[in-house]
Chain A
Amino acid sequence: MNFFHILSLARKEFLALMRDKRSRIIIIVPPIIQLFIFGFAATYDLNDVPVAVYNEDSGGASRELLARIEGSPHFSILHQLSSDAEIAPLIDNRKVLLVIRLGPRFSADLQRGDPAPLQLVIDGRNSNTAMTALNYLRGVVLDFNREWQREHGLTGPPVKLEMRAWYNENLQSRWFIVPGIIGSLILVVTLLVTALSVAREREQGTFDQLLVTPLRPVEILIGKAIPGIVIGLLEATLIIVLMVWFFEVPLRGSIPALYVGILLFLVSTVGVGLMISSIAVTQQQAILGAFLFIVPAVILSGFTTPIANMPEVVQWLTYLDPLRYFLVIVRGVTLEGDGFALLFHQFWPMAIIGAVTLAMAGWLFRHRMY
């Protein structure tokens, strides 16, 4: 293996990529814009859920309960209704997510010690939003009950839950989603850069020329892999700095372990990219091929929805997805404060994926000729 060969090929690849001003911009600017937009947009937390209230009760208890709901940052009461008929149009037209109805005897029942029902109608079109809103409301009602019982000298439920969340103490979804964005952005950028590198030369006919140079396939492979890895490393560093500095996500674990993870993740995605690139005949096929890989890889990685909820067969498939391992590493290092010991089982599968795909790409260089 001749290092001079590899270096000159890598240099040529960098020049091909960076020569065009628009490609330079496209590698750097969109990932940053995406980090900002998606970092703010991608949240499962609900703020200011639009609520309508139909209060037939005139007692103080209902007012107090409604004041507590209004006081919570999660809800804002937009409409006061005066008949049942108004409920359906508001929900159908998505003006409100939730309608709260208090019957005429609410306060009276409560004073007498009878159970007072709080009737809710909720729009279930987005089931997760509905469930989250109900959970928030349950918290408000439990607090109200507890206080009511204390003030009126009643005994509360005999058992009380003391809940505590580890690692993400205030359960902010931003802390969960933003580290995940690092993984998916690096995946998209490196995969597109490498997927096009061989396909472009094939389409333009320069790949045959490359094959008749003294460069050996291994050297072509490494030379083509280097730009993707270098760009990925720089981009990852930039995003991590922004994540910690701007989104205030903590970095509690071992940074060397994080970088070992990034490097292995890059090797595996570059391997997949080069493999797609060496199968594709045209750039269009390469981009579509990259797409056919990126979309399932992001969906199955646990980026937005947990792997544990998937059926068993689909869970097996996720073991082929390098992003799956990388997300555990990023979240482990940022939130859980993990080091090498707890992450070892995430490192080696990525190394295997990288080795297999790179070997296949190298073999395909020589054996797929058009």
Chain B
Amino acid sequence: MNDRLRRLWGMIRKESLQILRDPSSISIAFVMPVVLLLLFGYGVSLDAKHIPLGIVIEQPDTASQSLAGAFDRSEFFRPQRFGAIQEAQQALAERRIDGILWLRNDFSSRLLSGNEAPIGVFVNGVDSNQANITKGYIQGTWLAWLQHFAAAQGRDLDLPVAMEQRVWFNPALNSRLFLVPGLIAIIMTMIGSLLTAMVVAREWERGTMEALMVTPLHMGEMLAGKLIPYFALGMGGMLLSVAMALVLFGVPLLSPFWLLMLCSALFMLVSLAIGLLISIVTRNQFLAGQVALVVSFLPSFLLSGFLFDIHSMPEWVQTITYLVPARYFVAILQTLFLAGPVWPVVLANAGAMLLMLVILTALVVKKSYKRLD
């Protein structure tokens, strides 16, 4: 037993020295989380503000000016006036503005005579999500103005059904609050799978695996010795990310910290097992890097529910997402941070990760043996 510990310790020491001496591993574990969190926290946002909007008023008068004024005052828009609709459409085609509000010259006369006065709205639909949000803001500003306008004329604006909405967990609908916790899953995937995939592949490629084989190390000790330093590295990256999420971005953590650590450790083990499996199968750094990218990084970005809603994907893609460990971890993270320890969600997702861990470990054990080809 003592021998075994000594051998394990020697292996851990060798791997740790290798990590410490190679600036690129340290930078993936500590520089990358900082860069990513800063980019996502400050840079990436789905909340549109100051949308450049062209306003065309063909016949300026009180009514049309007051409507345009409502858009001027809104923080969601940065309106620009155009003299004619053709100029505004040209600007829309050149991407200088994202939308047009067009009040034709009979706008006020129709409005005051009690006819329905139409407003033409054009939005650039290329970015459909942004276009939907823009349409929503335009509708909101329009409704608020209508109410104001009706009140000024001394009558109520009668809307038969009015929506009264309450948003739970993220009342301000701030996209940062859900992007930042999800990002922790991506950072840990990167450390766990990509970095680890390359480590064992490197030993094969350089022929040092053969050198390791003639040592008394058992396969299990060798794998454990390789994984423990990377586990520590990954958890370090995770702690750094959580600290930044809480301190810098003000994301609330509504659950006990130990639960977050426990779930993260579980996810880290799954990522490490995937990385290890990739490197054992490919035995080549180029392939290991490519495969890790394709099977772990990109799916954790696009198929985990981190950015895109899983429920809206076609059935067969939803089936594939069950194979992506980040799917379970992102669900846990968003719930633990924003909603609190909702046990059914936590247990179901942690159980799925545990099952994946068992299967992956079995595969790793099956595929790794001390043998030369």
B302 touches A42 (CB 8 A): yes
B302 touches A117 (CB 8 A): no
Residue among B126, B160, B282, B305 with most chain A CB within 10 A: B160
Residues of A within 8 A of B129 (CB): 44, 128, 132, 173, 176
Residues of B within 8 A of A157 (CB): 146, 157, 159
- The complex places the Cα of A282 from the Cα of B339 at a distance, in Å, of 45
- The complex places the Cα of A154 from the Cα of B160 at a distance, in Å, of 10
Residues of A within 8 A of B131 (CB): 165, 168, 171
B43 touches A299 (CB 8 A): yes
Q: Which residues of B in the span 132-157 have a Cβ within 8 Å of any Cβ on A?
A: 132-133, 135-136, 138-139, 142, 146, 149-150, 157
Which residue of the partner chain A has the closest CB to B43? Answer: A314
Which residue of the partner chain B has the closest CB to A133? Answer: B309
Interface 9-residue window, one of A210-218, A219-227, A255-263, A284-292: A284-292
B178 touches A156 (CB 8 A): no
- With contacts A160-B117, A287-B285 taken as known, whether A125 is within 8 angstroms of B169 at the C-beta atoms is yes
B13 at the interface (CB under 8 A from A): no
Interface size class of chain A, counting residues whose CB lies under 8 Å from the partner chain: 35 or more
Other-chain residue from A91, A288, A310 in contact with B27 (beta carbon distance below 8 A): A288
Interface 9-residue window, one of A137-145, A266-274, A349-357: A137-145
Per-residue CB contact flags for chain B residues 263-282 toward chain A (1 = under 8 Å, else 0) read 00000000000000000001
A126 touches B161 (CB 8 A): no
Which residue of the partner chain B has the closest CB to A33? Answer: B294
Which residue of the partner chain B has the closest CB to A337? Answer: B93
B55 at the interface (CB under 8 A from A): no
- With contacts A34-B298, A287-B289 taken as known, whether A292 is within 8 angstroms of B163 at the C-beta atoms is no
B335 at the interface (CB under 8 A from A): yes
Per-residue CB contact flags for chain A residues 121-136 toward chain B (1 = under 8 Å, else 0) read 1111111111110110
B313 touches A167 (CB 8 A): no
Other-chain residue from A162, A282, A308 in contact with B121 (beta carbon distance below 8 A): A162
B174 at the interface (CB under 8 A from A): yes
Q: Which residues of A in the span 158-179 have a Cβ within 8 Å of any Cβ on B?
A: 158-169, 171-173, 175-176
Residues of A within 8 A of B120 (CB): 162, 164
A22 at the interface (CB under 8 A from B): yes
Residues of B within 8 A of A336 (CB): 93, 126
A45 at the interface (CB under 8 A from B): yes
B246 at the interface (CB under 8 A from A): no
Residues of A within 8 A of B290 (CB): 26, 30, 192
Q: How far is the CB of B351 from chain A (nearest CB, A)?
A: 14
- With contacts A148-B160, A288-B25, A299-B40 taken as known, whether A164 is within 8 angstroms of B116 at the C-beta atoms is no
Other-chain residue from B51, B116, B171, B286 in contact with A23 (beta carbon distance below 8 A): B286
- The complex places the Cα of A191 from the Cα of B39 at a distance, in Å, of 21
Q: How far is the CB of B3 from chain A (nearest CB, A)?
A: 31
B240 at the interface (CB under 8 A from A): no
Those 3 A-B pairs whose CB atoms lie nearest each other, nearest first: A165-B125, A124-B170, A168-B125
**18 A-B contacts (beta carbon < 8 Å):** A40-B316, A41-B303, A43-B308, A43-B312, A46-B309, A92-B339, A115-B161, A119-B166, A122-B167, A122-B168, A127-B178, A132-B132, A157-B157, A161-B139, A172-B128, A284-B198, A288-B24, A342-B94
